[in-house]
Structure 1
Amino acid sequence: MSGLPFGSRGAAECPCGSGTTYDACCGRFHRGAEAAPTAQALMRSRYAAYAVDDLDYVFRTWHPRTRPELPKQQPGTTWLALEILDVVDGGRSDETGVVEFRAHYRDASGTDALHERSTFARRAGRWFYVTAE
C-alpha cells in the first residue's frame, strides 16, 4: 500500500489488520480528525503509518522526551502484517499502557518480523509512544 496517493488509500483495507477501511480506521488518526483513544489504537495507527509511509504521524505520536529527530524507515521495506500479542492497561481512562506486538515485513534481505513490547503514556489527553523493549 505504500506509495499510493492518499486519496486512493481510503477505501482500501487498513494495514493494521482491523478488517475495516483505512479511512474508518487509522486514516482518521493520520489526518488528525481524531486522536487514538487507547494505547492499542495508537500502536495500530503507528504501524499503519509506517505501512503507508506517513512518518510525520510517527513523529507526532512519539513522546517528546524520547523521540529521535526524525523517524526513519529503510527504503524498500514493505510492512506485511501486524499481530497484537498482549495489551496491559492503556485504556480510555489509563495514563500508561503497554502493547506487545509482532510486525511482519519484507525488505531487501527477505521476510522478517519485529517483536517489541512498547510503552505508551497519555499526555494532555493524547496517547504517545514512549519506548520499547
Structure 2
Amino acid sequence: MRCPCLSGDTFEKCCGPLLSGGAAPTAERLMRSRFTAFARGDAAYLTRTWHPSTRPAQLELDDDIRWTRLDIVETARGGPFDREGVVLFEAFFREHGVAGSMRERSRFVREGRDWLYVDGVPG
C-alpha cells in the first residue's frame, strides 16, 4: 500500500514505523508522518508528536475530511543534527465532496532523538 504522504514509498517502509513508535530522523519526515496520521485518523500519534507547550488538551479529528495529498513546498533546517526546523507544506483534502487545501509553515523542535511539532501559521 502506497504511503498517504506520497513519498513514493510504501506505508510499511515510510510512515508506518513512525506511527508505530519509531523516531522521525528529520522535521520533514515528522511532517509527512503527521499528515499520514491525519489521513488515517490517528489522533494518538498526533498528540504524541505535538510539543507539550502547545499541545491541545484534547484533539478531535473531523471524520468528514479526507486528506488526499501532501506537497512539501520548502524546508529550512530540520535535519538530523539540527535542533529546530521549519516545513512549509500544502495539504489537500475533500470535505463533503468539495476539494480544498491548506498551506502552513510549521515549526518543529528536536528534543533528544524526537522531533516534535510546535505550531504553524498559514503559509
Q: Residue in 2 aligned with 1:125?
A: 113
Q: Residue in 1 aligned with 2:16?
A: 27
CA contact (8 A) 2:15 2:32 kept: yes
AA partner of residue 90 (structure 1): G
1:53 aligns with 2:41: yes
What is the TM-score when the length of structure 1 is the normalising length? 0.88
Number of residue pairs matched?
A: 121
Q: Residue in 2 aligned with 1:9?
A: none
1:44 aligns with 2:44: no
RMSD after superposition: 0.9
Q: Residue in 1 aligned with 2:65?
A: 77
1:62 aligns with 2:83: no
CA contact (8 A) 2:23 2:113 kept: no
Q: % of aligned pairs identical?
A: 43
**Which structure 1 segments of 5+ residues have no match?**
1-11
Residue 16 of structure 1, aligned match among 5, 15, 39: 5
Structure 1 segments (4+ residues) deviating >2 Å: none
Partners of 2:52 and 2:113 in 1: CA distance:
15
Secondary structure (helix, strand or coil) at the match of 1:51 reads: helix
Partners of 1:96 and 1:71 in 2: CA distance:
24
Post-superposition offset of 1:82: 0.2
What is the TM-score when the length of structure 2 is the normalising length? 0.95
Partners of 2:41 and 2:79 in 1: CA distance:
27
Q: Which structure has more strand as a fraction of its residues?
A: 2
List per-residue Cα deviations over 1:6-60 (Å, max 9, x = no partner).
Answer: xxxxxx100000111101100100011x200000000000000010111100000
1:87 aligns with 2:75: yes
Post-superposition offset of 1:123: 1.0
**Which structure 2 segments of 5+ residues have no match?**
none
